[in-house]
Structure 1
């Protein structure tokens, strides 16, 4: 049943995800840095390596967490080095590119949520406008092909620090980068063919994520999201299973049961509390057989039978191995003593602690004393005057087979004697 419920919920989650993305898809990218410009140059002209400066701006849309596309543009200032004749050109470009989220393709999300890598490449339009020594008003128009790699470091869910290394190749470049020479004038048949100009850009920048979702596709992992949903469902179903258990078999589920350790067979109310019509603190099911076999109603109401039960060891507080903390189910025994002493203000009680035979004798003596003292603390905290209580350790109880786990549980206890 649990597996069926999880499967249905996951199917619903996947169907919903197909209709609406669980992540943001839009982002804006801004970058700036240096560049290296290669051939063609006229004789005597050389650009700085690296050259300052160049900037870029783009808008990106992710179709899913692995693939997307972007529209971007940039500007490069190309100028001479110290060993070159003077020149200056302005280079403008725009391109449309496909984007691959390499981090999600290679499952980076399984080991990091702060580092990622994007690959991008596409085609576009470029314009080279030499300013000096010659001024080309219209500029040299070219087709460009661009490829690049973009490492990312997530700063927040809305912002990432990026680096980028891109190479731009140009087709039908007619004017050298310096503007001093037209290539068509020196090539055969006055034609310009092939890839004859390359720029390499190196940038740092920022990516701004847009949208109402908590996370962007760059950092989203469908597998991790489904795994998280499965874990959450498991926790919720486990809690439901735990809540629906009925530990004391009284017909009331644990999450509704205010008295989870009801005496076996006791009649209970809708909240799992044992029926106690005379309000003496003892479930009626325990008093009925006593009334029939051992005492009359006056004896029970006067508390004589309760005193007898306590004195004869029927009311005990039990402990786990080597523990001084009472087991939850036996705290009701402490409550019986509290009720009796409150109804009989002159009564006093002796608390006697015991341990099983496992371990050192002297250690077990101290352990039995600590158990008795712990029960005394509970009684005092419940309003019983400490002067009405005496405490002692009974040490090891050797009355049972020490090789029996169940028998040893019976002797790890605190018992009461009324005075």
Structure 2
């Protein structure tokens, strides 16, 4: 018994040393933030039974369940793991069946260190309503008895374990078991002098308490330190990664016109054609042909040439030159909605030139195996061919070409890889 008590003393008095930095840091943060996100004060009220075990004179012993025990405490948590508690306890005990008669009362007050095991051992990973605390510390006590006059004054040291069930943010149910060891107890619990028994005046008295009660939480915050869970670094990292992902999505530029999609009014403009600040194709004369394309046609084929009446050679040059592309998301064979309209260039050319044929050429980026990407590029070309068939082009006029991986861009660049996940065309 003495070894157990001495070990508890060492543990409690080690708390200030072991956790001084933790508390100091907590106080520093409090000064900086002028408050915490959780309440720190509580009132603990318990009632139950007591059992004195020693010392007793022969033929004297107490009931196993002496009614009653009561204690009232005020607790302050430095953080959600460690705190201090000041409490007052009262025990009443009397002779058990077959014992010589006696009647005694025991009063104590203790200051205790509190360790919130639920937060130390991360109970929140499996429950948010069950908690466990250990408390221990020294105090003063005195005993009265009908067998002697006055008070038997002594010191004590207690250690206890408290289970908690959260009822609400303001109240928790407690079940506590505590062992109190008295120091310099002059009388036995039945009222005889210890000296008559030859007892020393060290740890020479033990009383156990079992009680239930409530913790009532005080403060303006929603949660008390008993239940407060700090946000884990991994959760913060995941949140940050999600935000970065959202920003990357917002910065996508599907039509590569220099205007990100979330600001682009026309996110499907022809690649290489000048746009205004809102991503709209610049068409000054409102004839449906972008000014830059119209200027190219005029310069190359003469004044008055438009997309509607340009030579078939001009349209063929645009198609064969890689200006007409259909883009895909990673590992997808469904064309991006923003680029489907580019298929119309080939539809118009093939309908205007019934003898012409076209290769439908698919590409993939370098992510994944070469064998897989070869097949993926062919499936993308097949998907676009099916759209052309649905648009009225005979399947016999188109050949599928799976060109596999396009290695012309940096494999590590997420944005560059968007450019090469495509299908393009070749007139023949």
Equivalent residue in structure 2 for 1:108, among 87, 107, 122: 122
Cross-structure match for 2:399: 397
2:196 to 151, 175, 186: 186
Q: In structure 2, what is the Cα distance between the partners aligned to 1:321 and 1:306?
A: 37
Is 30-39 or 106-115 further displaced after alignment? 106-115
2:107 aligns with: 92
Q: 1:44, CA displacement in angstroms? A: 2.6
Q: Quickly say closer, same or farther: Cα 1:289–1:182, change in 2 above 3 A.
A: same
2:334 is matched with 325
- Deviation digits for residues 22-51 of structure 1, max 9, x if unmatched? 432212223344433211234333223354
| 2:9 matched residue in structure 1 | none
Query: Structure 2 length as normaliser, TM-score?
Result: 0.63
Number of residue pairs matched by the alignment: 365
Which residue of structure 2 aligns with residue 4 of structure 1? none
Structure 2 CA distance for partners of 1:245 and 1:331, relative to 1, 3 Å: closer
Once the 2 structures are TM-superposed, how far is the Cα of residue 217 of structure 1 from its aligned partner? 3.0
Matched, 1:49 2:64: yes
Q: Does 1:300 find its partner at 2:306?
A: yes
Q: Secondary structure at the match of 1:54?
A: strand
Q: What's the counterpart of residue 383 of structure 1?
A: none
> For residues 136 and 394 of structure 1, what CA distance do their matches in structure 2 show?
116
Deviation, 1:202, is 3.0
Matched residue SS, 1:186 = helix
For residues 155 and 291 of structure 1, do their structure 2 counterparts lie closer, same or farther at Cα, with a shift above 3 Å needed?
farther
Question: 5 Å matches for 1:6-405?
Answer: 20-104=35-119, 106-108=120-122, 111=125, 114=128, 116-130=131-145, 134=146, 139-154=151-166, 157-178=169-190, 181-183=191-193, 186=196, 193-220=201-228, 224-237=231-244, 239-240=246-247, 243=250, 250-294=257-301, 296-297=303-304, 300=306, 303-305=308-310, 317=326, 323=332, 325-333=334-342, 397-398=399-400, 400=401, 402-403=403-404
d(CA) in 1 for partners of 2:60 and 2:288?
104
Task: Give the TM-score of the pair, scaled to structure 1.
Answer: 0.64
Shift of 1:330: 0.9
Distance 1:44 1:90, change over 3 A: same
User: 2:336, 2:43 → 1: CA distance?
Assistant: 61
* SS, match of residue 216 in structure 2: strand
